[in-house]
Each structure stands twice: as C-alpha cells, then as structure tokens.
C-alpha cells in the first residue's frame, strides 16, 4: 500500500475514527496526538509507547511531510531569517525576532501571495498554494528550537505576518492557531498570537463571530481609498468603509483592540494630509497604530521616510490622542522584507 497523506492532516476526531477502523482502542489516538503536537515527532518509530505492529500499519497508511530549514541568515541585531523547504520543493520564509521582552516568530501562511501589494517582495511571487496547518505548526516548532539554541529561551509571541494572506487560507490557519494554543498542543496563550491581514472584511467578521481570542492586525498603509488601492489592489473589493465596519464589529464582539499597521514610505504616505486621513480612520473604532519603518525591496522604488519625518508623523498622531508605537526595522542587513530571502537566494 502507498502512503497517502501526512497523518497530521487528521484532526483529533478523524484520528480517533481512523484508529477505531483499524481496531485500536480509543486511548491510542490520545497517545499519537501527544507525539504529534506536544513532542513534535516526525516518524512513527519515535512513538515508543505504541506496539511495533501498529507503528508498521501507520507507516503503510500515512506519511510525514515536515518542513526543513534550507537556509538561515542572522542579522547583526540578532534577527534570524529562515528559508524553509517544503516536501514539494516549494519554499517559504519564517523569521525569529528577539527583543529584550519578547521572542517572536513571524510565520508564513501561503507559498507566495495573490494580493500583489506593491511595496511587498512576496507580492511579486505568484501564489503557488496554501500551507497546511502542520506546515505552519512546523515553522513555529523550528523557530522555537532556534530561539532556544541561540537565546536560551523559547517563543512567547507568534505573528502571522510572513508570506501570504492568512485569511485566504482560513481553515488551515485557524487549525494551526488551535494546535498552538490548545492544551493538547503547545498550550500557548491566544493573546500571544497576532493574525495580520491585508483586509478581507467578511473573514474579519467571521473570526469575530467564531469567538476569536487572538489579536488582529490590519495592514493599512493608506487611509484614503484611491491611495490604498494604488498600493494594495485588495482595497478595490474591500474598501476602507467595509474594513472600518468589520473592525468595529470585531471590537464589539471580541473586546480586543485591533492594531493598524502603517509602513511609513517616503513621499507616499507620510505627509500631514495622511496624518489627517489616518486619524479619521482610526477614530472609527478603538485601535492602536504601529508605524513601521519601511524596509525597501529591490523590486520596487519605495524608500523609507527619514527619521525626522517618521517622528513628526508619530507625534502628530499622538497629538490627535491616538495610541502610536514606532516599530524600528529589524534585520535590514539580511533583507528582512518578507519574500526577499526566497527571491534572492533560492530562485535567482
Ligand atoms: S503584504 Fe501580505 S498580503 Fe500583501 S502581497 Fe505581501 S504577503 Fe501578500
């Protein structure tokens, strides 16, 4: 018999059904689940409390398709960026970002991206496929190991801000969150997870209705429809009015204040006029604003705003009584802009 699929594609109920059909007692599913999601094993031989015969049967029926680190780069600021190789020879990226208080993993949700944001290197890679939940889980697992090896402590923060639009791979992304947060998985607090979206209004509403406990970030970058559509084509079908309604609904339902991500780009979105536009948008619902020092990419002509302009922009928003944080660029020397490592090192 040919091994068909990664056993980790089965959720707990499907795993129970599978084992019952194999004539196994119910507790075997619990044992296997623990090996897969708490101990992170990638072969049936490691499941030492299973009878040899069962391990053999499982091996006939299922496979493992773990991701591997193909390439690693470490920045002078300690940021570690990985290109991960998938079982089908596709590549994705994940980044480990250490700070004094946090150990953050930034993970990908798709191979490439279909949304074509003009300032993003991944937008120039076409979307090949969605990631499975176990491929997202594997990124977290491997970045956690790297954190322990390099910094002596594990992850305490996960952001879905790597390659891809998480809400266009909804089911697998939500399953990965469940595996990371469940007591039967890694047991991390959902409050330590942030899903970042370019803005798919109906999925934001769905997450709120589904009782989300994680954080939500909206990649905004412009608070005027014409300007936003010019750099983020998704704005044509999910405009600012729809997004403001969805974000208000999210806050009402979850009580979680979302974050607006705004990369400050020289002479594009960093004038007083844009302060006024962003202020109007941000006053529509309770939120925080992260101003991001833009990381230029070789594929487009955008430049980061100078330090003085960035500070002026932040001060003007604070003066308008908005909550503003400035996020300094990390890993610039290793092309921290998402999609760069895959573009430059593996595809060229
Ligand atoms: S910013 Fe996000 S949604 Fe836009 S192209 Fe890049 S990966 Fe895709």
Domains of the chain: 5-63 (1.10.150.530), 68-347 (3.20.20.70)
Q: How far is ligand 1, taken at its centre, from the CA of residue 313, in Å? A: 24
Q: Which of 94, 95, 115 to mutate to test the pocket of ligand 1 (most atoms within 8 A of CB)?
A: 115
Give CA–CA dist 45/65, Å, rounded.
Answer: 15
Q: Which of 117, 119, 232, 261 to mutate to test the pocket of ligand 1 (most atoms within 8 A of CB)?
A: 117
Strand partners, 170: none
Interstrand relation of 193-197 and 215-219 (parallel, antiparallel or unpaired): parallel
Phi-psi domain of 160 (left: phi exceeds 0; alpha: psi -120 through 50; beta: other)? beta
Between helix 133-151 and helix 170-181 the angle, nearest 10°, is 40
Could you give phi then psi for residue 35, rounded to 5 degrees?
A: -60, -40
Q: How far is ligand 1, taken at its centre, from the CA of residue 294, in Å? A: 14
Ligand 1 is surrounded, with C-beta below 6 A, by: 113, 115-117, 120, 122-123, 163-165, 198, 219
Q: How far is ligand 1, taken at its centre, from the CA of residue 257, in Å? A: 22
Cβ distance 122 to 339 under 8 Å?
Answer: yes
Q: Which two tokens stand for residue 340?
A: 């760069």
Nearest Cα to Cα of residue 160 among 106, 123, 88, 211: 106
Cβ distance 262 to 292 under 8 Å?
Answer: yes
Ligand 1 closest atom vs CA 122: 6
Ligand 1 closest atom vs CA 113: 8
Which protein residue has the closest C-alpha to ligand 1 atom 5?
123
Give CA–CA dist 338/123, Å, rounded.
Answer: 9
Burial of 91 (0-12, 13-18, 19+ CB in 10 A): buried
* Cα angle for residues 66, 203, 265 (degrees, 5° grid): 85
Give CA–CA dist 69/30, Å, rounded.
Answer: 29
Half-sphere exposure of 207 (CA within 13 A, CB side): 34
Q: How far is ligand 1, taken at its centre, from the CA of residue 125, in Å? A: 10
The catalytic residue among 82, 120, 287, 338 is: 338
93 is catalytic: yes
Interstrand relation of 323-327 and 193-197 (parallel, antiparallel or unpaired): unpaired
Give CA–CA dist 185/137, Å, rounded.
Answer: 10
CB atoms within 10 A of CB 261: 20
Q: Which two tokens stand for residue 54?
A: 């069962």
Q: Average pLDDT by consecutive 10-residue portion of the chain (348 residues)?
A: 77 94 94 96 96 96 96 94 96 95 96 93 90 98 98 97 97 98 97 98 98 98 98 98 98 98 96 98 98 90 94 98 91 71 58
The catalytic residue among 93, 165, 274, 277 is: 93
Q: Which residue has the tokens 């992170």?
A: 40
Q: How far is ligand 1, taken at its centre, from the CA of residue 120, in Å? A: 6
What's the longest Cα–Cα distance across the chain?
70
Q: Which two tokens stand for residue 128?
A: 């090949």
Q: Which of 122, 194, 234 to mutate to test the pocket of ligand 1 (most atoms within 8 A of CB)?
A: 122
Identify the pLDDT of residue 336: 65
Ligand 1 closest atom vs CA 114: 8
Identify the pLDDT of residue 332: 76
Q: Which two tokens stand for residue 138?
A: 């594997």
Q: Which two tokens stand for residue 60?
A: 């006939």
Q: How far is ligand 1, taken at its centre, from the CA of residue 220, in Å? A: 11
Cβ distance 220 to 281 under 8 Å?
Answer: yes
Identify the pLDDT of residue 153: 96
Cβ distance 216 to 258 under 8 Å?
Answer: yes
Query: CA 41 → CA 29, 48, 67, 141, 257, distances in Å?
Result: 15, 11, 13, 11, 37
Cβ distance 314 to 291 under 8 Å?
Answer: yes
């Amino acid at each position: 018999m040919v091994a068909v699929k990664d056993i980790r594609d089965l959720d707990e109920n499907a795993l129970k059904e599978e084992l019952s059909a194999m004539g196994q007692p119910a507790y075997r599913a619990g044992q296997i689940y623990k090996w897969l999601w708490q101990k992170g094993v990638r072969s049936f031989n490691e499941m030492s409390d299973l009878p040899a015969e069962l391990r053999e049967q499982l091996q006939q029926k299922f496979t493992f398709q773990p991701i591997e680190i193909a390439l690693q780069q470490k920045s002078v600021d300690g940021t570690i960026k990985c290109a991960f190789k998938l079982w089908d020879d596709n590549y994705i990226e994940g980044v480990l970002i250490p700070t004094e208080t946090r150990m953050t993993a930034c993970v990908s949700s798709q191979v490439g991206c279909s949304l074509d944001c003009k300032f993003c290197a991944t937008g120039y890679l076409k979307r090949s496929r969605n990631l499975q939940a176990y491929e997202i889980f594997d990124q977290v697992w491997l970045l956690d190991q790297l954190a322990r090896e390099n910094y002596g402590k594990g992850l305490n923060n996960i952001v879905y801000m790597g390659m891809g639009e998480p809400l266009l791979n909804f089911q697998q992304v939500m399953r990965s969150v469940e595996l990371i947060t469940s007591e039967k998985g890694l047991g991390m607090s959902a409050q330590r997870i942030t899903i970042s979206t370019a803005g798919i209004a109906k999925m934001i509403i769905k997450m709120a209705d589904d009782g989300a406990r994680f954080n939500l970030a909206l990649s905004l970058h412009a608070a005027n429809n014409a300007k936003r559509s010019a750099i983020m084509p998704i704005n044509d079908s999910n405009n600012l009015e729809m997004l403001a309604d969805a974000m208000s609904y999210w806050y009402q339902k979850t009580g979680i204040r979302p974050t607006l991500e705004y990369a400050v780009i020289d002479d594009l979105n960093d004038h007083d006029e844009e302060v006024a536009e962003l202020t109007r948008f941000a006053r529509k619902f309770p939120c925080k604003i992260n101003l991001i020092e833009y990381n230029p990419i070789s594929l487009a002509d955008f430049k980061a705003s100078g330090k003085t302009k960035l500070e002026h922009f932040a001060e003007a928003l604070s003066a308008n009584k908005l909550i503003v944080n400035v996020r300094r660029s990390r890993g610039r020397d290793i092309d921290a802009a998402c999609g760069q490592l895959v573009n430059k090192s593996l595809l060229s």
